[in-house]
Structure 1
């Protein structure tokens, strides 16, 4: 149960003054909450300002610089209402000792303004100065109060990220009410760290961020931000440490295997494992042989051969008498894993099957029955595999591909399908070390950094869209020579439909040029349509595959050596790198053409030049973190994984390290969080919605 102390912070925002159900929904959208759950007071308080406005400049009307935000003490002279039916603005004229000014209002309500700006009164008015026809004016002042109420005017005002339907004033009013609800919370910081850092208390830090002081108007209070960021990181690291401990404590099984099945697979491979692959296999086998549960992250750059390493783990598990499951994020990838693994499984007599959400009822029924009877050794599929009604005879190993699409609770759910299930998580998104700590702190890590033998680096070229005709002509020559190529259409921000429309349009144009040698793949096709298009591209007459980003992960066609990415400036670095990794998978030299629409912004230009300069996915990931922040890289914006509301992994990497060490030490000294600090840390876990971790505590 959540401590009652926190109840005020988990009150729905609609209880705050000025926020009705409609505004609450708008706020939910702004905070990235799902539509079912109304945001709470804590969600609002964790929506920090992006900057501040300094209103302390009081130069007098005549000396007010154009474009500056100033605060003026004026006397209201007269109102000038526009003629009825006119579109002219409403004007209020005022003066001070230095000159005169006009306050301008469009679509104004006269009676309201007459009441707000009474003629003959002295007022304090704040806003941005403009010069129009040699007159000084202020359009829609931000604040206006009677001179007697000058104390009500904020000297330094926070600026919040907003969305349509929300005004700054509305948000500030709600925020002031929310701050009044913050209770006195027990301090969860380590006393030694508290003395060393001299950070403000949690509640004081929140007040400092939302009510910035005139002493540090530029960026808010850096000490307050560090304190709140650390609290959020500590909640996250403690939750990960508890998950790790829970999985380690749930008794593992020491698996016995001789390596016979692995050797059969190695003999069937057309190449030998790289040094990195062999090392990763050895680490995994050591984990499987130990009596504790394996929880390992296998990081490999695009095309580094993670799937083969995963299959060697399957060989060990199956040889020990257990079943294995390999879970992929998309149908395309699940079916492709199945097709590429089947020949190697056959060589080692491992019985493999595939199961996805789109299979027919009869086929699903038969596969599930075989799985439950133990007639399948390895099942490959999508997240449909861990839904309630799927049962295994003896699940021993779960392999999750593209981990960042699956949160902590999904990995707990999947591993609960058997006794002491070992877990291997694979990702082709090279993740900077900081983020490995942040999201996978509960795992041991193996890294594959080299490409399998015989693969050549991919040459990357940037080409302006105006030269598309040359690109098409070059493609024609390549297709005539039997080359296969991808053409990826842009991610269009407005909607999925436009993304799809762009692909369909490009498909039609290229079909007119190349005839039936072109196929189309997008996310709205049925599994059969996608599989058929992919098969024609891999083994048939189709030479050019036009696609949306549905082909981003795991599609493996060694004969494809050209990748064209249209409007490359709209993609993030990691995504460009993933897409580029669809070529260069055979022994032929490959090329990636990044088509961009000039002029491009500074960040997009930096992305394109990094792509041109390097094929190193880990270097690219570090740059991506610097350019974009962690939420975009890991896909947390879409996946429901816990992104950070306050802390920023790129800026506060040192705090994540500290939080990780702190969490580890806490659990060594106070494993059940029953000490005074331990109880305070339980409050912290609830505060940052890491409740699942609290349930893992033996005592509570």
Structure 2
């Protein structure tokens, strides 16, 4: 679709802004700020509100202030790495130290000459008996521009960018905003008290403005809902194929346990959808261990019984390999040919799989994004199963859908229990099936919260556990300690080194930065029982199934979201033996962190945990958003999603139903919306009835 001319300033390259050259473009690219629109939407993370004081007696420790000072002395540290201090006096003679570290001392020498008055902005702190401001935010000459920056935005940065530089670029981008025709009904704008689109963007950069932020969040939620609904309408309009199986293959399945009522209900819903010509678009939500893979296999065998092929897409090679092994074991009595295809497959092995998919001798393929590359063709792809759906964009999903001669049916799965509001946000175009009961015989996992001060006891317990022939996981929140991070943040590589020194080669390490061959080798040793202790990051959150592992240690557990803790805990308790999960908490535990860990100890219902996680985090704490369903929004926070999404969803439905997919009869506003939807969601959307 051709871009409406009014949008051209927004989509200009960021280099058109003054001061942006090759050097500055690199950090801007790291922040995803490639065009003027991206810069305008780079909203402040927070605002610093300062108070203008006549002297330090009026200010409190920890307060952000602006105060007039006169430097009296410069003091260098004897230690090269020590602080550089400028002593200064306020109007009544109170003494304050302006403290600098590193190269910033050169700036201090220039900005703060002795005897010349300056206005200084920063956070007032105490160091011993002396008041100080460390690295002042601003030092301005008498009467200088921006003398009283009482409310200032704080933006996220990348190396090579500063707050003043980003603020300057934002100010330029804001001046280029066009006045777009309004797509929200005037009565709704008036009722909500919202500004125009451009007005909202300008306000959102100046101060904490709920009305402006709500307007922009609503726009984002409306666009997301429209895209999902138009994709659904497009899917229903496409010519599909009814797939009805005779049950011959499914009757031969070798299942590890009888189907639960929830599984039977979900299979029935999926069969009913696949029996229609309109392509199925269904989400299967299941808690840890609820048996989603069995339901997916039943659905794929329906396709094979009907003479078609099926493909299962997984986000990681580790998960793809796990699915492949599980499906092959269960389907062995059926004689169905199942293949694995990942980006690592090369040469003759890859060519053999590609030929089997093309001639139909391969019935089911499991793999990563490699299964929808241009070189991969299918004889008759009838069903797509997408695991961990939220990790794939709409465009990626449709690339695979185009592999079918006719529109294939689609079953998406997620192992993360998602609050209903976020389900609507992420999967609003899909029908939903829920696996809300566990197979018989699954034991509850004994969950305990243990202080970091008992680390030695935990390590000794691990020794007894693996010494008795059992297996265990040890999960850390990061791969290695980052420069400048505090020592209490557990790093997998350091923990692995310490545990290996204690327990020898029975310890293996897995994290996302390892080469695939090393990950596979470590996982193979652990799965076979040769290795007894697996140290890992959250790469094992899903797709790892070792029934003999009965102990899970999660270090710095308060740093994880509740839903992610629930997923990690679900790696144990998969066999008949009693399992234990130890949540190692740090010394500094907030009330929210304490409540999270207490909830993990009290319940194992993933759906309840997901809803409670959303409540505990609220709108202001976005940590762990991905763990509760991967919200696709850069503006709308969790509180706004809960509050504004239902209305945005209803308004989107009205637009689609009233205008038959936002036809051109709605004028310029509709054309702008259509262009933005097509560009941002990467799909060609309907323009007519």
Work out whether the TM-score is over 0.5: yes
1:8 aligns to what SS in structure 2? coil
* Contact 1:101–1:136 under 8 Å retained in 2: yes
| TM-score, structure 2 as length reference | 0.86
Query: Does residue 1:593 correspond to 2:582, yes or no?
Result: yes
Query: Does residue 1:459 correspond to 2:455, yes or no?
Result: no
**1:664 maps to which residue?**
653
Corresponding residue to 1:615 among 576, 601, 604: 604
Matches of 1:682 and 1:644, distance apart in 2? 22
Corresponding residue to 1:579 among 558, 568, 589: 568
| Distance change >3 Å, CA 195–CA 63, structure 1 → 2 | closer
1:423 aligns to what SS in structure 2? strand
Query: Does residue 1:406 correspond to 2:392, yes or no?
Result: yes
Matches of 2:681 and 2:175, distance apart in 1? 28
Q: CA deviation at 1:174?
A: 2.5
Matches of 1:469 and 1:675, distance apart in 2? 69
* Contact 1:455–1:588 under 8 Å retained in 2: no
* Contact 1:254–1:290 under 8 Å retained in 2: yes
* Pairwise CA RMSD: 3.7
| Distance change >3 Å, CA 491–CA 53, structure 1 → 2 | closer
Query: Does residue 1:229 correspond to 2:217, yes or no?
Result: yes
Corresponding residue to 1:444 among 402, 421, 431: 431
* Contact 1:682–1:694 under 8 Å retained in 2: no
Q: CA deviation at 1:657?
A: 1.4
**1:25 maps to which residue?**
26
**1:250 maps to which residue?**
238
**1:217 maps to which residue?**
none
**What pairs with 1:437-516 in structure 2 (closer than 5 Å)?**
437-492=424-479, 494=481, 499=491, 501-502=493-494, 504-512=496-504
**What pairs with 1:346-425 in structure 2 (closer than 5 Å)?**
346-418=332-404, 419-425=406-412
**1:176 maps to which residue?**
171
5+ residue gaps in structure 2?
484-489
| Cα deviation code 1:240-296 (max 9, x no counterpart) | 11222222211121222233322332xx32432111101100110011001111111
Matches of 2:477 and 2:129, distance apart in 1? 47
1:467 aligns to what SS in structure 2? helix
* Contact 1:490–1:502 under 8 Å retained in 2: no
| Cα deviation code 1:368-394 (max 9, x no counterpart) | 111111111111122211111011110
**1:646 maps to which residue?**
635
Matches of 2:149 and 2:573, distance apart in 1? 59
| Cα deviation code 1:383-438 (max 9, x no counterpart) | 21111101111000011111122111111011111021111011101111121111
| Distance change >3 Å, CA 224–CA 561, structure 1 → 2 | same
**What pairs with 1:101-180 in structure 2 (closer than 5 Å)?**
104=98, 107-108=105-106, 113=111, 140=136, 142=138, 144=140, 146-147=142-143, 153-180=148-175
**2:487 maps to which residue?**
none
Q: CA deviation at 1:40?
A: 2.2
Matches of 2:60 and 2:525, distance apart in 1? 67
Matches of 2:502 and 2:111, distance apart in 1? 60
| Cα deviation code 1:327-380 (max 9, x no counterpart) | 222223222222222233232232222222223421111111111111111111
| Distance change >3 Å, CA 677–CA 118, structure 1 → 2 | farther
Matches of 1:88 and 1:279, distance apart in 2? 70
| Distance change >3 Å, CA 211–CA 270, structure 1 → 2 | closer
Q: CA deviation at 1:450?
A: 0.8
2:638 aligns to what SS in structure 1? coil
| Cα deviation code 1:439-485 (max 9, x no counterpart) | 11121111111111110111111223443443344344444544333
1:199 aligns to what SS in structure 2? coil
Matches of 1:111 and 1:554, distance apart in 2? 57
Matches of 2:162 and 2:329, distance apart in 1? 61
Q: Which one is further off, 350-359 or 199-208? A: 350-359
* Contact 1:296–1:423 under 8 Å retained in 2: yes
**2:626 maps to which residue?**
634
5+ residue gaps in structure 1?
213-219
| Cα deviation code 1:556-581 (max 9, x no counterpart) | 22232222233434433222221211
**What pairs with 1:259-270 in structure 2 (closer than 5 Å)?**
259-265=247-253, 268-270=254-256
**2:14 maps to which residue?**
13
1:354 aligns to what SS in structure 2? strand
Matches of 1:51 and 1:283, distance apart in 2? 46
| Distance change >3 Å, CA 68–CA 477, structure 1 → 2 | closer
Matches of 1:575 and 1:471, distance apart in 2? 22
Q: CA deviation at 1:141?
A: 6.7
2:249 aligns to what SS in structure 1? helix
| Distance change >3 Å, CA 693–CA 525, structure 1 → 2 | closer
* Contact 1:569–1:596 under 8 Å retained in 2: yes
Corresponding residue to 1:433 among 412, 420, 423: 420
| Distance change >3 Å, CA 422–CA 40, structure 1 → 2 | same
* Contact 1:506–1:546 under 8 Å retained in 2: no
* Contact 2:87–2:95 under 8 Å retained in 1: no
* Contact 1:91–1:104 under 8 Å retained in 2: yes
* Contact 1:235–1:690 under 8 Å retained in 2: no
Q: CA deviation at 1:602?
A: 4.3
Matches of 1:135 and 1:436, distance apart in 2? 53
**1:550 maps to which residue?**
539
| Cα deviation code 1:57-102 (max 9, x no counterpart) | 454676455554445578x7x876789x99965567674xx66777
1:446 aligns to what SS in structure 2? strand
**What pairs with 1:47-62 in structure 2 (closer than 5 Å)?**
47-55=42-50, 57-59=52-54
Matches of 1:693 and 1:673, distance apart in 2? 17
| Distance change >3 Å, CA 447–CA 58, structure 1 → 2 | same
